[in-house]
């Protein structure tokens, strides 16, 4: 079965710390796309394995959701979207008003 140079889904899961289920889910979400054998088996190569490992790290360090990552991808590929979002954020963020607001939010959370 080995097919050295590429791991099948269970092996890739064991290697990266994800579950096989999640590897399929990540493919569904378009975040990590393995090749397939003729029979349809997923094949994870080095680049996919690294991608999976660094994805865990990303989530751990920054608390990112998968949907947010998918959205970041949309931002790069859809210039129109990117510009609209940028424009919207720009008109908000020049007033420094929300800094104080975040301060208050933080206080609210601490009080709980």
Partner DNA sequence: ATAACATTACCAGAAGCGTGTCAACGTTGT
Partner DNA sequence: ACAACGTTGACACGCTTCTGGTAATGTTAT
Least distance to its own copies, CB of residue 4, Å = 21
CA–CA dist 73, 34 (Å, integer) = 18
How many of the other CB atoms lie within 10 Å of CB of 23? 21
CA–CA dist 98, 37 (Å, integer) = 52
| Three-class secondary structure of residue 98 per DSSP | helix
Q: Residue 8 binds which entry of DNA, its own copies, none, with Cβ cut-offs from 5 to 8 Å by kind?
A: DNA
Residue among 38 and 99 whose Cβ is closer to DNA: 38
Examine residue 11 and tell whether it contacts DNA (CB under 7 A).
Answer: yes
- Return the residues of window 22-41 that contact DNA according to CB under 7 A: 22, 24-25, 29, 37-41
């Amino acid at each position: 079965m080995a097919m050295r140079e590429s791991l099948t889904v269970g092996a890739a899961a064991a290697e990266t710390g994800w579950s096989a289920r999640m590897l399929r889910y990540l493919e569904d979400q378009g975040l990590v796309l393995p090749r397939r054998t003729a029979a349809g088996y997923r094949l994870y190569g080095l680049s996919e394995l690294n991608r999976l490992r660094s994805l865990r790290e990303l989530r751990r360090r920054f608390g990112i959701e998968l949907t947010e990552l998918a959205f970041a991808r949309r931002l790069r590929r859809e210039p129109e979207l990117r510009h609209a979002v940028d424009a919207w954020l720009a008109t908000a963020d020049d007033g420094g008003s929300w800094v104080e607001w975040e301060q208050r939010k933080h206080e609210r959370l601490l009080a709980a």
